[in-house]
Structure 1
Amino acid sequence: MARRIKVLQLHPDYNIKAHDFADLGEQVFHALPVDRFETVNAFLRGRPTAGQPESRADRSVYFEFSDAQLKGLRIKAMWALYRYCLQEQFDVVICNRFKPVNMLLMLNRWLKIPLCIGIAHGFGEYDRSYRRFQTARLVTKSWRFVGVSPAVREYLLGCQCGFTEANTVAITNAIDIELAERLQLTRAEARASLGLNSQARLIGALGRLVPVKGHIYLIRAFAQLAESYPDVQLAIIGAGREHDRLVEEVKTLGLVGRVHLLGFRENALRYVRAFDIWAMPSLAEGLGLALLEGMSGHLPVIASDVPAMRPLIHGAGGLAVPPADVSALRNALEQYLMLSAERLSEKGEQAYRYLQQEHDIEVFRQQYLDLIESALSEVLK
């Protein structure tokens, strides 16, 4: 029996979810036939505590480096990772985000792993000139790069530091639609679980409460039409450092009882059908999975007109607004709120059909399998 191809996937932090409908690292492992691939998942920081899930990979490794060990020269972390990869003799290493990519770029000068794949999940990682200079010196024929959307791929190519038309592709994020729908509560169940009004028209948003997610602009836009639509409420699922600021904004605008900051919810996708409209006012995104999650709940979408999300919004028949533009966001919300329930539902079904056609998880898995197999055949010639 031929030796299985040995694949390591490297992440900056432990981040395994109980359900992997949108865990794209796990979906890559789904793509690899177990009779031909041996898989290992590794995390630079963190590890699961009792009851938390582990990867579907054959093995998981937790380096548990401290933040300090992953800064500067990272000598201890680099040495530990080097020894581990040397011992295991991987055929393929898949690196998620800048730090793992950067570490393997340096280490593979000596490790000589046949195929390394660096995945860029957003913009800005190579904006600094010294990062571009370093990357350009270290990219070899062993490397392939993936942008999680066409816009992220264009960003990489524009950096002109070793990313080329030949070694850089776009594999658009996707979700397991069938699993996502099985997890979702009904409208009534979701609203009851979240403590939301069963009769209100609800605008929903999901995401970490951090400035780049733009929730404060959504709250301000809602404030401008709240008086005209007394049956409409806004709810945001997520936690983060912006929480207190958003609470104060809600109070200042007189929206207590109309805007609900619901905090972190495990498996937040379960609640998507509680809402009538899905909003994503981010100031920047690589490719916002929360937008796809809203579409999986058959919801019409409003989102910021940033490069990574623009084709999704238009493809779904949604409304694109300039980021941080409160007036435009208010007008988009009102455009949907003026529709009948039946017409709004039709818009949601249009978004769902687009999701099925363009972000199917089986296509995503096949693209990763094809990339690994074709790239391996090239580098091993």
Structure 2
Amino acid sequence: MSPRRIKVLQLQNYYNVNASDLAEQIIQALPTDRYEVTTAFLRGRPGPGEPVSKAERSVYFGYSKSAVSGLRLRALWALYRHCRAEGYDAVIAHRFKPVNMLMLLNRWLRLSACIGVAHGFGEYDRSFRCWVARQLVTPAWRLVGVSRAVRDYLIGANAGFTPANTRQINNAIDISRAEGLQHPAEQARAMLGLPADAFVFGAIGRLVPVKGHIHLLRAFARVKDAHPQALLAIIGEGRGRPELEAAIAELGLEGRALLLGARDDALQYVRGFDAFVMPSLSEGLPLALLEGMSGRLPVIGSDIPSLKPILEDCGGRIFPSGRHEVLAERLAEVLALSPEARRAEGERAYQYLCRAHSIEDFRRQYRELLIELLEGAGRD
């Protein structure tokens, strides 16, 4: 008789399944002949035509935002009963609420293989949260930061997370998939309505203030007159569009700065850009920057903690967050490069991406971490 498969619960706060979802990539890291994965969402569920998880089973608890705030007693009780009934061997929890809930419940569940994934900063800024985490973290837990900066944040938070129980597993993209989706430069430009002979700075991201697009517009306004062939193209949609449209008019950028709206799989257009810019004021999981690298583009980004180490390691160009006058200098530097130097800079970024952020390494590291915990508990 073949051995029972290892039962794994992956818990997320709210439903959000897409092609670049790293929780889905963890599922693909676990062979179905050895692991039985259930993915669960505290809030939300897919609507008609929306994607579902690749896990063997999906559970939607269907709670409102208020039901998973504060003490969360009803949600905790339902999650506890579910875990007891299913008899999971391991859990993987994403972001603060699922991690906190499972840390608390594991005082009774006593699972010996628990992984908590932190996708950004700020979750342990409150002293009370840190105190609670110190009481609940046990040898069964490993915390994962999705970048060097997030790992360092966790270790420095005084929440019981140490170099011994905290790991760095870099966020990643499926580079082969990305390259397979990307259209040749001329075709991508035609699809976006961009002229073939322009120099295009590209950005991808929701049109919300935290993405810093207003600073990018102000920076571009400083270089546009000296470089009449340059354009700025932003793929994305959001509540910040009226402010950005007003800024385009105020700065005289009509026809030079283009808000292209939302596009499915925006990374398919990156080869239509000559350089990629990420001016974010805050960012937990900078997948758009990695997507820009997959197009072999020079990359420019702000010095926020989640971006700066990546930009340093890949040879990208960095500016102080929110300082549009310095960003303008970085744009001018890239415009001054010869085509050969620009291609070489993009190739360096691409080679770094392959070394440090490949989806194969990402999957392997999660699989090995889970095996390490299960073997330590005598289960694997």
TM-score by length of 2: 0.96
Deviations 1:43-62 (A, max 9, x none): 11221222221111111111
**Which residue of 2 is the match for residue 144 of structure 1?**
142
1:343 aligns with 2:344: no
Work out whether residues 226 and 232 of structure 1, in 8 Å CA contact, stay in contact via their aligned partners in 2. Answer: yes
Q: Which amino acid aligns with 2:73?
A: I
Deviations 1:171-209 (A, max 9, x none): 111111111111112222222222222321110111122
CA shift for structure 1 position 380: 4.3
**Which residue of 1 is the match for residue 98 of structure 2?**
100
CA shift for structure 1 position 263: 2.0
CA shift for structure 1 position 379: 3.6
Work out whether residues 47 and 62 of structure 1, in 8 Å CA contact, stay in contact via their aligned partners in 2. Answer: yes
Work out whether residues 221 and 330 of structure 1, in 8 Å CA contact, stay in contact via their aligned partners in 2. Answer: yes
Q: Which amino acid aligns with 2:311?
A: I
Secondary structure of 1:159's partner?
A: coil
1:266 aligns with 2:264: yes
Q: Which moved more, 1:184-193 or 1:99-108?
A: 184-193
Work out whether residues 148 and 309 of structure 2, in 8 Å CA contact, stay in contact via their aligned partners in 1. Answer: no
* Distance in 2 separating the partners of 1:315 and 1:161: 28
Q: Which amino acid aligns with 1:151?
A: A
* Distance in 2 separating the partners of 1:119 and 1:250: 39
* Distance in 1 separating the partners of 2:140 and 2:240: 42
* Distance in 1 separating the partners of 2:87 and 2:156: 33
Deviations 1:119-145 (A, max 9, x none): 001111100111111111111122110
**Which residue of 1 is the match for residue 180 of structure 2?**
182
* Distance in 1 separating the partners of 2:83 and 2:186: 50
* Distance in 2 separating the partners of 1:89 and 1:187: 51
Deviations 1:276-325 (A, max 9, x none): 01001112333411111000011110011223322321222211111111
Residue pairs, 1:277-316, within 5 angstroms: 277-316=275-314
Unaligned 5+ runs, structure 1: none
Work out whether residues 22 and 171 of structure 2, in 8 Å CA contact, stay in contact via their aligned partners in 1. Answer: yes
**Which residue of 2 is the match for residue 42 of structure 1?**
40
* Distance in 2 separating the partners of 1:46 and 1:307: 30
**Which residue of 2 is the match for residue 319 of structure 1?**
317
**Which residue of 2 is the match for residue 5 of structure 1?**
6
* Distance in 2 separating the partners of 1:162 and 1:324: 33
1:25 aligns with 2:17: no
Secondary structure of 2:156's partner?
A: helix
Work out whether residues 112 and 373 of structure 2, in 8 Å CA contact, stay in contact via their aligned partners in 1. Answer: no
**Which residue of 1 is the match for residue 16 of structure 2?**
15
CA shift for structure 1 position 10: 1.0
Work out whether residues 45 and 62 of structure 1, in 8 Å CA contact, stay in contact via their aligned partners in 2. Answer: yes
* Distance in 1 separating the partners of 2:144 and 2:36: 22
1:89 to 74, 87, 92: 87
* Distance in 2 separating the partners of 1:128 and 1:245: 32
1:170 to 140, 156, 168: 168
* Distance in 2 separating the partners of 1:287 and 1:43: 20
* Distance in 2 separating the partners of 1:80 and 1:185: 47
* Distance in 2 separating the partners of 1:24 and 1:278: 22
Q: Which amino acid aligns with 1:63?
A: F
CA shift for structure 1 position 329: 0.4
Work out whether residues 114 and 380 of structure 1, in 8 Å CA contact, stay in contact via their aligned partners in 2. Answer: no
Work out whether residues 89 and 113 of structure 1, in 8 Å CA contact, stay in contact via their aligned partners in 2. Answer: no
Q: Which amino acid aligns with 1:167?
A: N
* Distance in 1 separating the partners of 2:348 and 2:316: 9
Corresponding pairs, count: 378
Work out whether residues 200 and 274 of structure 2, in 8 Å CA contact, stay in contact via their aligned partners in 1. Answer: yes
Deviations 1:28-85 (A, max 9, x none): 1121121111111111122122222111111111112111212222222222212111
* Distance in 2 separating the partners of 1:254 and 1:44: 46
Identity of aligned residues (%): 54
* Distance in 2 separating the partners of 1:12 and 1:5: 23
* Distance in 1 separating the partners of 2:371 and 2:11: 19
Unaligned 5+ runs, structure 2: none
**Which residue of 2 is the match for residue 378 of structure 1?**
376
